[in-house]
Structure 1
Amino acid sequence: MTAIPETRAAGLSDAEVAQRVAEGKTNDVPTRAARSVSEIVRSNVFTRINAILGVLFIIVLSTGSLINGAFGLLIIANSGIGIIQELRAKKTLDKLAIVGQTKPLVRRQSGTTAVPPSEVVLDDIIELGPGDQIVVDGEVVEESNLEVDESLLTGEADAIAKDPGDPVMSGSFVVAGTGAYRATKVGREAYAAKLAEEASKFTLVNSELRSGINQILRFITYLLIPAGLLIIYTQLFTTESGWRRSVLAMVGALVPMVPEGLVLMTSIAFAVGVIRLGRRQCLVNELPAIEGLARVDVVCADKTGTLTENGMRVCDLKQLDAVDVGNILAQLAADDPRPNASMQAIAEAYKMPPGWSATAVAPFKSATKWSGTSYGEHGNWVIGAPDVLCEPGSPVAEQAEQIGAGGLRVLMLGSSDLPVDHPEAPGRVTPAALVVLEQRVRPDARDTLDYFASQQVSIKVISGDNAVSVGAVAGSLGLHGETMDARQLPEEPGPLADTVEECTTFGRVRPDQKRAMVHALQSRGHTVAMTGDGVNDVLALKDADIGVAMGSGSSASRAVAQIVLLDNKFATLPYVVGEGRRVIGNIERVSNLFLTKTVYSVLLAIFVGVAGLASKFFGTDPLLFPFQPIHVTIAAWFTIGIPAFILSLAPNHERAQPGFVRRVMTSALPSGLVVGLATFTSYLVAYQGRYASPVEQTQASTAALITLLVVAVWVLAVVARPYQWWRVALVVVSGLAYVVIFSIPWAHELFILDISNVKTTSIALGIGVVGALAIEVIWWVLGAVSGEPRRLWRSE
């Protein structure tokens, strides 16, 4: 430990700053590596699905049938909706990122001010204090007990003492002391620039939901290729219906196989989630965090700044020695260049320092729990945790324990027999006074904890404060369970995991222990969220499944967290959880609809294709595919497209469950099989053979479409459960929309429909009802087999 420096490095002049800006020597890394507008447009327009639909659209136009090209509107819809929603999300994220970004304290000849990272230039002098993140690479020019944690870059958790001339790397952060460094590498040359740029992209990577959908899409691709080749061959070379009708039938088979809206709906759900959370001043640094928090089953909450408000006040002073405690406290507070919340409260209470000169300083560290200053002939004074500075079991320690049992924070002021920069400091400490600080519990903390309890999410309160005091605060909030002093925690991973599972509240926790406790919970299969605001929370925030930082917290904690609560309200977390549940639950519903359509489309193509091959080899009647492109387009309107859009944005408070892919496929495969079989059966019954007139062929196609719509609407009815009034209305309106379409004479001509054959239409309806009953039975059976309770109506 070193004495306070007497000289200060001079900053750049305004002219020197302007010159470096002109030369491009600025920290030009964007605040977020969000995609540009042109990149967003390109990524939404030039997609694989749009390419497939575009080629099919051109093929249909070559036949001269414009109405059958109506599915081409999907290209515009997919691209337009995706672009609009991502631009809205980008605008929200960028706006919040500016509010929540780290602003380094830059010293220039015109003054010392906090500036955005992008305004830092080469050779700037940047001041540092506890919790500050180092934003560019540099060289230390002055220091006072400066210690830097480089674990985010190197993986080594030990703090490194820095002397003048030592390098510091962007991405590391200050754990103790103060100092300043000169920027030697800025912009994309800085060590962590690329890492930070990559980490903050607007992206859906590493999302369990997204990975599951990609896995499903790969499975579908394996089905699409053989089914597509089969239907192309049979429609063009076996039906003898003319190239125009064969091409339309081929396209009619291929278009519904493509789950064109699935990825789009997923992106929209995430983007809308970002926008909704943005309105609550919640910055989502990584989009999968919305989803991840919905899966969390343990929340590790720091006490200070999370359950209690940041501000404190001195509410009592217990004098233990005949010294002028007020003068000592005032001088200690005045000499702290970066006071924490406790020292700020002391500074407000004791404002008249005697003007002593400090000869040595020991800054506060979470690991040691004390700080101090030596004043030469005026003595060596330390202030910190009584149970650390006092002898265990001493009267002063017991008195502090009793006061802390009421939920108050207690600090002990004492004189040491060693200078505070001595290697064996604090040495022997003589108690002088107990400083009692009062923290206000956040008014919304209890409701938030009650919410998590109702959702079967466990809460672990982890704090550096006295265990008894932390337990008292937790108890006042209705948290029951054992309280433990972390100094007695076992070191071995197994016993540590057992202890962390059993206890609820932990005090005197070191930063490395916070991280170890997160790891212990994860080893038992828990999905862990960590909330915090201080530099002592950084390691745990980084290693938790979801790190949640307060906006008023240290820049280092905000930098590593996936979610930043800019309004500093712990009560915002339930809304984030709810948003994640909405995204996961609704995407699962939407996936069921899209994948059911893909399954029955592939099955129809296989059935018709196999019949075509049979006709080639056995001389039987070949089958023309029942639908033209316009048929599958209108079938998708009210059984999938519009309902899926509404369901993807609807409220949904159901708990997120693991096994997304298994559940979706278990539901979509049998549903698709029933729809495909029922539709094919109806078509076979109505089909009049290869020599059927155009009217008879249209009647057979209409019959197949009626059956498909009846069963598909019932699939929607099942997916929409458990019902609320608006879900029932959605299903009813979807069904009535098709009744209207089939009732309007001009729609028959426009959409190539014919329901004039009452017998064929009646049989088609009957087969559709049987298919709907099969869907209903399968839903109940799957619920019984999987153990998931089935509910028709949502209970409040």
Structure 2
Amino acid sequence: MTQPGDAQVRAPSSSPPSVDEWHSLAASAVASTLGVDVSTGLSSATALMRLESVGPNEIGGVEPPSILRIAARQFTSALTILLVVAAAASGFLLGEWIDAAAISSILVLNATIGVVQELRAARAIAALESLTVPRAHVLRDGVEDEISGTDVVPGDLLLLDAGDRIPADSRLVWVGDLEMDESLLTGESFPVPKSIDAAPPEAGLGDRVGVVFGGTTVAGGRARAVVVATGSRSEAGKVAALTAEREPATPLQRELNVVGRRLAEISIAAAVLVIMMGLGRGVRFETMVLTGVALAVAVIPEGLPTVVAVTLSRGMERMARRNAIIRRLSAVEALGAANVICTDKTGTLTENRLTLRRIALADGEFDVPTTIDDTNRFAGDWRSPRLLEVIVGCNDAYRVDGGFRGDPLDVALLRGAEELGDDIELRRRSSKRLNERPFDSTRKLMDVLAQTPDGPVQLVKGAPEAVIRRCDTVATASGTSTLDTIGRERLDRTTERLAESGLRSLALAFVEQTSEEAGMADGGLTFLALVGLADRPRVGVRKSVEEARRAGIDVVMVTGDHKVTALAIGHAVGIVDHANEIMTGDRLRSIDQGQLDAEIGNYRAFARVDPADKPKIVRAWQRQGAVVAMTGDGVNDGPALRAADIGVAMGSGTDVAKDSAAVVLQDDNFSTIVAAVREGRRIFKNLRNVVHYLLSANASEVFTMIVGFALFGSLGEPLRATQLLWINLVSDGLPALALGFHDSKDDVMAERPGAGRDVLGRRNVTSLLVQSSVLGAAAVMAIVVGEFLLHQPWIVTQTMLFTTLVIAQLLHAFNMTSGSVANLWSRLGLAVAGSIAAHVLIVNLGITQSAFSIVSLGPVEWAWAVGLAIVGFVGARIAHRLAPQ
């Protein structure tokens, strides 16, 4: 036990010095640098001056953007700006105020969704602020005091006891068998022993033995520590800063931005070209300007944002039924694009609780829970009652609310005893604790003198090396025998093997005493067993990892735990086969970005990493073109969850993790991620089909206008402005929505991740142009038929062209589905039928005939229009099927 008073002082200062590597300084140097006497603490006057200098111990402090500013950011994407222009043009230039109002309502809806998404970052930081404990025990003016955690300042001397939460990062100056629960910050499963020793400057968080971090908990022991960093300067504060970074655009958002920019270029070019062609044919300037603007508006798929929002919303409902709660719409399609899953270990792949996994006797061992044969063998072994006596009797954990509370190792041992069928309460009632010596860092063991039904027995539990060297005999199946050198070496090898398996081992021993007044023996013990404890993998994780890999998804483990533990868990769940597939945090921090990018694909796991390292790993994968999903449940996962394309938090995780994530798994089941990926792929495939449909349909209007003017411009304009707007409205409406809801029968998990995601790639553009040309050509043929075959007036010919293009575009929606043409009673069939019926209505109603400058068609004209539309539909279907997929 290290004594206080070893660290001395210099004169106190109102402003503490700025030091980044407190963990590398000796305890005495820290106290001296901060001007604190560890026997009396800071004076109240100095503490007040420092509070005024550095501010309260609160995370955050950055003024969040106003809602208006957040709302303004929602109108910066290319497609959104294009829709704003389209709304203005529809209203002010074309006088189509209903169309303008519809586009404006779409913009408002999408902006509202975006504002809600960005406000989530503030909630994540608020959750981090809650990590600062409301009260702190300090020594000031030589007197113990309890103060608000927000009033803690650098130099304050903390008095720590079991169960306390640390208010701020602090350098230990005295410890009494201190162990910390750092799982929320570093991912370390086991309680971490602490000392006042300094660590190398480059040491990661998990290796800074002389520092305790804000937000972590004292698992056992006592300590005194000098506060070195508060608020945003603490490690939790740094996590908050990383968490506040804006999330990257999802694959769909990136694609839609590209689509928006391309459409802006195409719409302007098409409008200018058509205007020039019309003027060259002698059409009035005012008429051609209106037609050009209408064509530019028609090119833009106004319904696309709404279809995307509604489709993703329905995907949210479907995923919720599979226990995946979607917190952000874009997460739905991003899951489908994921080809790398970076998963935390503690609480995600594992249960985040220590469990008794193995019992190694001198002449055999078995796993816990046991098989029926092992259970029978254990129950019939004379050593089993004594072993359970040590597990239960030499244990300070206690039952509360149906579970156990206490040191995590003690709790794990009691749970193990229950799994082995022991009645813990009965055993404790049947024995009496006479004397005890608690665990300390010098002896490295705990022992209890208990009065049992068989008489007084000293029960011993501790580090294997400490217990084994105090043993003279060993318990075997046939009795006790001398523990010789060979036997000790065998036990040492067993201890090493348990450690290599990722198990933390404890040795159990006993010695029978002659009376209740007998003293506690420090030797002459009988060795009973080695017990191995570990954080157990979740049920079903290995199967889910295998399914993810079959779907072309790389699963990578990222943990703050030790490499040996990462290897054991990684091997158990099927992520890691060999130790050389694991990169450590030290190695990660020693290489530059270029080297990390070059090597990232060689590693299946990363161990001993800090919270700041996790986003580096995510971004390295992203720079390789990967779409990364990151799973986690702790404070240490928050920054990486936001850096990833899709953050997935466990439902039982911290508020920081859940508020930083876009998806929360209610059942904490890793396999739910795979089901969510399947749904995400189905949704993206539907949205890709929607985009293809809308772009090819709208492009067919451009083709019709350009070719129509080029060949028959002297007869009149092929389509009027109002007709173009109607075509856009009817094709961007119900059929596009039905395509978004389509239930594909394809095995989407058999496809390569991200297949077909380059919506405007060269192959896709070529296919779209061919399909739109076929549809447009069918419409232009209506001019040939009406004008030269049927010899109809131009208004009849124009109505035929108008009708042919509408029906051809609507039928073209069926080309976006796989297999045979959809059933008429499907969503898509009903949407197409309803839209055609609406068009038939406007062609035959007098009021709409006047509005759209059209006339009723006779049976012959209808037959030609429908026939040409079917020809266009079939030709576009052939082009779609022949296009490379």
TM-score by length of 1: 0.66
- Give ranges in structure 1 of 5+ residues lacking alignment: 112-118, 363-371, 416-429, 612-619, 789-796
Output one character per residue of 1:294-336: Cα deviation in whole Å (capped at 9) or x when no partner. Answer: 234565767764455445554875566999996799778679x
**In the alignment, which residue of structure 2 is the partner of 1:576?**
676
Structure 1 residue 591: Cα displacement: 0.9
Mapped to 2, the partners of 1:552 and 1:391 lie a distance apart of 47
User: Quick check: 1:670 aligned with 2:756?
Assistant: no
**In the alignment, which residue of structure 1 is the partner of 2:103?**
75
Output one character per residue of 1:528-564: Cα deviation in whole Å (capped at 9) or x when no partner. Answer: 6565557998999899876644344578877987755
User: Quick check: 1:344 aligned with 2:344?
Assistant: no
| Conserved? CA contact 1:410–1:436, under 8 Å | yes
- Evaluate the alpha carbon distance shift between residue 227 and residue 556 of structure 1 in structure 2; reply closer, same or farther with a 3 A threshold: closer
Mapped to 1, the partners of 2:643 and 2:181 lie a distance apart of 21
Out of 435, 455, 465, which is 2:531 matched to?
Answer: 435
**In the alignment, which residue of structure 1 is the partner of 2:21?**
none
752-761 or 701-710: which moved more? 752-761
**In the alignment, which residue of structure 2 is the partner of 1:43?**
74
**In the alignment, which residue of structure 2 is the partner of 1:597?**
697
Output one character per residue of 1:21-77: Cα deviation in whole Å (capped at 9) or x when no partner. Answer: 9x996848499979837844883699423432233223445xxxx6x5542243234
Out of 713, 724, 733, which is 1:641 matched to?
Answer: 733
**In the alignment, which residue of structure 2 is the partner of 1:660?**
757
Out of 491, 505, 514, which is 1:396 matched to?
Answer: 491
Structure 1 residue 637: Cα displacement: 3.6
TM-score by length of 2: 0.60
**In the alignment, which residue of structure 1 is the partner of 2:253?**
210
- Evaluate the alpha carbon distance shift between residue 409 and residue 686 of structure 1 in structure 2; reply closer, same or farther with a 3 A threshold: same
**In the alignment, which residue of structure 1 is the partner of 2:579?**
486
- Evaluate the alpha carbon distance shift between residue 721 and residue 433 of structure 1 in structure 2; reply closer, same or farther with a 3 A threshold: same
**In the alignment, which residue of structure 1 is the partner of 2:818?**
721
Mapped to 2, the partners of 1:194 and 1:403 lie a distance apart of 38
Out of 273, 276, 300, which is 1:258 matched to?
Answer: 300
User: Quick check: 1:731 aligned with 2:829?
Assistant: yes
| Conserved? CA contact 1:594–1:640, under 8 Å | yes
Give the number of equivalent residue pairs.
705
| Conserved? CA contact 2:823–2:829, under 8 Å | no
Structure 1 residue 192: Cα displacement: 3.7
Structure 1 residue 592: Cα displacement: 0.6
Match of 2:412, as an amino acid? A
Structure 1 residue 716: Cα displacement: 0.5
- Evaluate the alpha carbon distance shift between residue 279 and residue 196 of structure 1 in structure 2; reply closer, same or farther with a 3 A threshold: farther
Output one character per residue of 1:139-190: Cα deviation in whole Å (capped at 9) or x when no partner. Answer: 8898758899899xxx9773376699x89799x9999999877596647999
Mapped to 1, the partners of 2:572 and 2:316 lie a distance apart of 33
Structure 1 residue 208: Cα displacement: 2.6
Identity percentage over the alignment? 20
- Evaluate the alpha carbon distance shift between residue 569 and residue 397 of structure 1 in structure 2; reply closer, same or farther with a 3 A threshold: farther
| Conserved? CA contact 1:25–1:186, under 8 Å | yes
Matched position secondary structure for 1:106: coil
- Evaluate the alpha carbon distance shift between residue 471 and residue 161 of structure 1 in structure 2; reply closer, same or farther with a 3 A threshold: closer
| Conserved? CA contact 2:340–2:628, under 8 Å | yes
- Evaluate the alpha carbon distance shift between residue 141 and residue 4 of structure 1 in structure 2; reply closer, same or farther with a 3 A threshold: closer
| Conserved? CA contact 1:147–1:177, under 8 Å | no
Mapped to 2, the partners of 1:718 and 1:701 lie a distance apart of 26
Listed as ranges, the matches of 1:535-550 within 5 Å are 548-550=648-650
Out of 758, 765, 775, which is 2:876 matched to?
Answer: 775
Mapped to 2, the partners of 1:623 and 1:24 lie a distance apart of 79
| Conserved? CA contact 1:29–1:187, under 8 Å | yes
- Evaluate the alpha carbon distance shift between residue 186 and residue 231 of structure 1 in structure 2; reply closer, same or farther with a 3 A threshold: farther
Output one character per residue of 1:627-669: Cα deviation in whole Å (capped at 9) or x when no partner. Answer: 2333233323443322223433555572443342226424322
Output one character per residue of 1:177-216: Cα deviation in whole Å (capped at 9) or x when no partner. Answer: 99877596647999648844643x5x6x432332223223
Mapped to 2, the partners of 1:484 and 1:434 lie a distance apart of 27
- Evaluate the alpha carbon distance shift between residue 24 and residue 565 of structure 1 in structure 2; reply closer, same or farther with a 3 A threshold: farther
Match of 1:254, as an amino acid? A
**In the alignment, which residue of structure 2 is the partner of 1:56?**
89
**In the alignment, which residue of structure 2 is the partner of 1:413?**
507
- Give ranges in structure 2 of 5+ residues lacking alignment: 7-37, 139-147, 188-200, 364-382, 399-404, 418-423, 448-458, 468-484, 510-525, 588-595
Match of 1:56, as an amino acid? A
- Evaluate the alpha carbon distance shift between residue 176 and residue 751 of structure 1 in structure 2; reply closer, same or farther with a 3 A threshold: farther
| Conserved? CA contact 2:597–2:621, under 8 Å | no
**In the alignment, which residue of structure 2 is the partner of 1:224?**
267
Structure 1 residue 719: Cα displacement: 1.0
**In the alignment, which residue of structure 1 is the partner of 2:707?**
607
Q: Which has the larger radius of gyration?
A: 2
599-608 or 558-567: which moved more? 558-567
Root mean square deviation of aligned Cα: 6.6
**In the alignment, which residue of structure 2 is the partner of 1:700?**
797
Output one character per residue of 1:453-503: Cα deviation in whole Å (capped at 9) or x when no partner. Answer: 6645566789967799869965xxxx7x9x8463897999999999978xx
- Evaluate the alpha carbon distance shift between residue 341 and residue 226 of structure 1 in structure 2; reply closer, same or farther with a 3 A threshold: same
Out of 604, 607, 626, which is 2:718 matched to?
Answer: 626
Listed as ranges, the matches of 1:193-342 within 5 Å are 195-196=241-242, 198-199=244-245, 201=246, 205-235=248-278, 237-238=279-280, 245-266=287-308, 269=311, 282=324, 290-297=332-339, 305-306=347-348, 309-311=351-353, 313-314=355-356, 342=409
Match of 1:602, as an amino acid? V
575-584 or 441-450: which moved more? 441-450
| Conserved? CA contact 2:271–2:293, under 8 Å | no
- Evaluate the alpha carbon distance shift between residue 134 and residue 488 of structure 1 in structure 2; reply closer, same or farther with a 3 A threshold: same
Match of 1:730, as an amino acid? L
- Evaluate the alpha carbon distance shift between residue 776 and residue 127 of structure 1 in structure 2; reply closer, same or farther with a 3 A threshold: farther
Structure 1 residue 739: Cα displacement: 3.6
Listed as ranges, the matches of 1:87-126 within 5 Å are 103-104=130-131, 106-108=133-135, 121=150, 123=152
Structure 1 residue 448: Cα displacement: 4.3
Structure 1 residue 345: Cα displacement: 1.3
Matched position secondary structure for 2:152: coil
Matched position secondary structure for 1:660: coil
Structure 1 residue 566: Cα displacement: 5.2
Mapped to 2, the partners of 1:45 and 1:489 lie a distance apart of 42
Match of 1:52, as an amino acid? V
Mapped to 2, the partners of 1:98 and 1:274 lie a distance apart of 25
175-184 or 566-575: which moved more? 175-184
Structure 1 residue 775: Cα displacement: 0.7
Matched position secondary structure for 1:647: helix
Mapped to 2, the partners of 1:488 and 1:581 lie a distance apart of 29
| Conserved? CA contact 1:312–1:345, under 8 Å | yes
**In the alignment, which residue of structure 2 is the partner of 1:382?**
463
